[in-house]
């Protein structure tokens, strides 16, 4: 499937200012402020930009960091990883494979089964609740 490409003007018409800043400008929201950091609803966390099904609620855990954290992506082909050396640090950035949206970062301090912590901005996600 080809990558989704849109101009900044197009993204701005579809996203809130905060969603645009986080996903298109590689921003971050303040810890403990995002709509999903303390969410316990069952469902699929989709990319706010393109709707790709990135993470399932079963893989979400409370890492104490103030952002939604997941130990496993829904499908590893849906997230890309990149070296991020901004702010004098070396981290692994996570982006949406389909549209390139900045999602957050992944760290090697998560729980089993992967030992990974995908620390994801709420502003880059949209929860599609499971049907009852």
Question: pLDDT tens string for the chain (132 positions)?
Answer: 568 999 999 999 999 999 999 999 999 999 999 999 999 999 999 999 999 999 999 999 999 999 999 999 999 999 999 988 887 888 899 999 999 999 999 999 999 999 999 999 999 999 999 986
Q: Which residues have C-beta within 8 Å of that of residue 13, sequence separation ≥ 6?
A: none
- What global pTM score does this model have? 0.93
In a domain, 47, yes or no: yes
User: Choosing from 47, 50, 96, 119, which is the catalytic residue?
Assistant: 119
pLDDT of residue 1: 58
Q: Is 65 a catalytic residue?
A: no
CATH number reported for the structural domain that contains residue 121 in this entry: 2.170.150.20
From the list 59, 69, 42, 57, the residue with the least C-alpha distance to 129 is 42
In a domain, 25, yes or no: yes
pLDDT of residue 88: 83
In a domain, 3, yes or no: no
pLDDT of residue 2: 63
In a domain, 66, yes or no: yes
Q: Which residue in this structure is represented by tokens 């890309």?
A: 80
pLDDT of residue 85: 86
In a domain, 2, yes or no: no
Total of domains in the chain = 1
In a domain, 29, yes or no: yes
Q: Given its phi and psi angles, is residue 68 left (phi above 0), alpha (psi -120 to 50 degrees) or beta? A: beta
Provide the residue range defining the domain that includes 66.
8-129
């Amino acid at each position: 499937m080809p990558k989704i490409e849109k101009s900044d003007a197009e993204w701005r018409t579809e996203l809130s200012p905060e969603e645009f800043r986080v996903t298109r400008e590689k921003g971050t929201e303040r810890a403990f402020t995002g709509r999903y950091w303390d969410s316990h609803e069952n469902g699929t966390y989709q990319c706010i930009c393109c709707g790709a099904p990135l993470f399932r609620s079963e893989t979400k855990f409370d890492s104490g960091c103030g952002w939604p954290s997941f130990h496993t992506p829904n499908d590893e082909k849906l997230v890309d990883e990149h070296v991020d050396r901004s702010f004098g640090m070396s981290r692994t950035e996570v982006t949406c494979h389909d549209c390139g949206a900045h999602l957050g970062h992944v760290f090697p301090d998560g729980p089993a089964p992967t030992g990974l912590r995908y620390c994801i901005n709420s502003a880059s996600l949209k929860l599609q609740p499971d049907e009852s």
